[in-house]
Amino acid sequence: MTDQRILVTGGAGFLGRHLVAELKRRGATQVFTPRKADYDLTREPDVRRMYEALRPQVVMHLAAVVGGIGANRESPGRFFYENVMMGAMVMEYARLASVGKFVGIGTICAYPKLAPVPFLERDLWNGYPEETNAPYGIAKKMLLVQGQAYRSQYGFHAIHLLPVNLYGPHDNFDPASSHVIPALIRKCLEAVDAGADEVVCWGTGNATREFLYVEDCASAIADAAERYDGPEPVNIGAGFEISIRDLAELIAEFTGFHGRLTFDRTKPDGQPRRSLDVTRARTAFGFAASTDFRAGLARTIEWYRAVRSAAHA
C-alpha cells in the first residue's frame, strides 16, 4: 500500500494512532486521519466533503463511539445512532468514490451473549448480544451487512474484522468511560498513592475476557488490508481467556497494590465469557498475536505511570 492514498477514520484514537504508525512503518506515505473538529462523520455533508478533499483509494473505518459497561448502559441510544450513521455514510461515500478497498472494524460485542466459546465467525447471528452493549454491538455489525450487500450488488471490496478487547499504551483511562484494564490500572495506582487498603471491582470477577495488545491488532488490520478480500468476517484475537478476578490480581501485582480486591456484585459482569477462535485470521492472511499478555500489561502500566508522572510534574 505504499503508493495508496489511505484514509483512517478514528486515526487519532487509541487503535487508530497505532495503525497509522504501522502503515507508515510498512512504507505508506499518504495516510490521512481526519479529526471530528473538521469532519463530523454522523453528518452527510461532512462525509461528502471529506471524500472530496482527501480522495482516498483505501478506507479503514475505525471511528466509533465506544466505552465500558457503564458508558454503554448510560448512552445506548447515542452509541447505536452515531455508530450506525458513521458506518453507513462512510461506506456509502466510499462506494460512490470508487474506493478500491474498505476495511470495516467491528467488535466482539456483536456476538450473541451465550455464543459457544471460543467464538466462531459462523455463530455471529445465532442469538442476541449481551444486553448492556447490544446497541453498540448491533450498530457495528451493520457494517458487515452493508459491506456484504455492497459486495453482492456493486462488486465493492469491503472486508470486516472483529477485534477482541484491546489494551496498551494510549488507551482511555477516564473512569467514566474506560474498559476494564485501564480502569483497574488507574484504580490500583490511585490506591497505592493514597495508601488505601481496598480496590472495588465491578461484578463477580467470574466473567472471562480475551485481550489483544493494540500493536498486534494494528498489525492484523494492515495484514488483512493487504492480503484478505473475502466476504466473511474475521476474528482478530490472541487466543486465550482470563477471568476478571485473575486479571485484577495480576494488575494489583504489577502496580504494587497489596490491599484487598473487593467485587461489587450489584454491578453487571457483562457477557459471561469471551474468547475467539482465531483460525480464520491465521489461515486467511497469516496473522497470529505476538505479544505476551504479561509483557503487554507491564508496558501499558509503565506507559500510564509515565503519563501520570508528567501530569503531576
pLDDT digits (tens, 9 = 90+) for 233-269: 999 999 899 999 999 999 999 999 999 999 999 998 9
Amino acid 70: pLDDT: 80
Mean pLDDT, residues 165-170 taken together: 96
Q: What is the pLDDT of residue 226?
A: 97
**Residues 6+ away with beta carbon under 8 Å from 98:** none
For the segment 217-231, the average pLDDT, to the nearest whole number, is 98
Q: Grade residue 303 by pLDDT with cuts at 50, 70 and 90.
A: very high
User: Helix, strand or coil for residue 290?
Assistant: coil
213 in active site: no
Three cell numbers, residue 117: 466459546
pLDDT tens for each residue of 66-88: 887 788 788 899 999 999 999 99
pLDDT at position 182: 96
Q: Which of 39, 51, 111, 136 is catalytic?
A: 136
Residue 101 has pLDDT above 90, yes or no: yes
What pLDDT does 122 receive? 97
276 and 109 in contact (C-beta within 8 Å)? Answer: no
Question: Is the bond leading into 118 cis (omega within 30 degrees of zero)?
Answer: yes
At 268 the pLDDT is 86
Residues 6 or more apart whose Cβ sits within 8 Å of residue 36: none
Digit-coded pLDDT (tens) for 193-208 = 999 999 999 999 999 9
pLDDT mean over 149-174 = 97
Q: Looking at residue 59, what DSSP letter applies? A: E
Per-residue pLDDT band for 17 (boundaries 50, 70, 90) equals very high
Which one is the CATH code of 5-168+211-239+272-290: 3.40.50.720, 1.10.3720.10, 3.30.70.1730, 3.40.50.300? 3.40.50.720
Paired strand residues for 162: 235
Half-sphere exposure of residue 87: CA atoms within 13 angstroms, side-chain side: 28
Residue 3 exposure: Cα atoms within 13 Å on the Cβ side: 0
Domain boundaries, the chain: 5-168+211-239+272-290
**In the prediction, which pLDDT does 168 show?**
98
3-class secondary-structure state, position 269: coil
Q: Which pLDDT score, from 0 to 100, does residue 185 have?
A: 98
Mean pLDDT rounded to a whole number for the chain: 96
By mean pLDDT, which of 168-177, 203-212, 277-286 is the weakest?
168-177
Predicted model pTM: 0.94
Mean local confidence (pLDDT), 16-35: 97
Contact 221, 103 (CB under 8 A): yes
In DSSP terms, which residues pair with 276 in a beta bridge? 119
Tell me the C-alpha distance between 297 and 279, whole Å.
24
